[in-house]
C-alpha cells in the first residue's frame, strides 16, 4: 500500500510541479508584505527580461475581468428573460462569469501574444525580487 501511495503522490507532484515555483513565497513562517502597483511598476522598470512579461500578464487580467463581467451579465440576462427563474439566473451568472473569464484570457493570450512569453517565470521572479526587497 505504501508503494502505491508513493507512486500516486509522485504522479500528481509531476503534474503540479509548477507549484514549486511559488513555494519559497507561499511556505514561509511569516507571510510576505502586500505589494502595491508602484512596486510592480518598479520591478517592470528594473528587469528587462521578466518585466515586460509581467506587464503583459497584468494587462491580460483586464481582458479576463471584462470577459467575466460580460459573460455573467449576458448569460444571467438570457436565463432571466427566458425562464424567470431566480436560481437559474444565479447559476447562469456564475457559469457565465467563469466562461467569460476563460474566453477573455484566451483573447488576451492571442492579442498580447502571451504564448510567446514565460509569464510563470516572470511571476516567480517578481515574488523572489519582492521577498528580497521586503526582508
pLDDT in tens, 36-58: 889 899 999 998 989 999 999 98
- Of residues 127 and 1, which shows the higher confidence score? 127
**The pLDDT of residue 18:** 67
pLDDT in tens, 80-111: 999 989 999 999 999 999 999 999 999 999 99
Q: Does pTM surpass 0.75?
A: no
DSSP 104-121: HHHHHHHHTTGGGS-HHH
Average pLDDT over residues 51-69: 93
Average pLDDT over residues 53-80: 94
Choose the weakest-confidence range: 23-32, 70-79, 89-98: 23-32
pLDDT at 75 over 90: yes
Please name the residue that has the C-alpha cell 511569516. 30
d(CA 90, CA 34): 33
Amino acid at each position: 500500500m505504501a508503494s502505491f501511495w508513493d507512486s500516486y503522490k509522485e504522479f500528481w507532484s509531476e503534474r503540479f510541479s509548477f507549484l514549486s515555483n511559488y513555494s519559497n513565497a507561499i511556505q514561509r513562517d511569516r507571510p510576505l508584505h502586500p505589494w502595491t502597483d508602484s512596486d510592480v511598476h518598479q520591478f517592470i522598470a528594473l528587469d528587462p527580461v521578466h518585466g515586460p512579461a509581467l506587464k503583459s500578464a497584468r494587462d491580460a487580467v483586464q481582458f479576463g475581468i471584462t470577459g467575466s463581467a460580460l459573460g455573467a451579465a449576458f448569460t444571467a440576462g438570457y436565463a432571466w428573460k427566458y425562464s424567470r427563474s431566480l436560481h437559474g439566473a444565479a447559476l447562469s451568472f456564475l457559469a457565465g462569469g467563469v466562461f467569460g473569464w476563460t474566453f477573455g484570457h484566451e483573447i488576451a493570450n492571442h492579442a498580447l501574444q502571451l504564448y510567446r512569453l514565460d509569464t510563470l517565470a516572470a511571476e516567480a521572479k517578481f515574488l523572489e525580487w519582492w521577498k528580497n526587497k521586503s526582508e
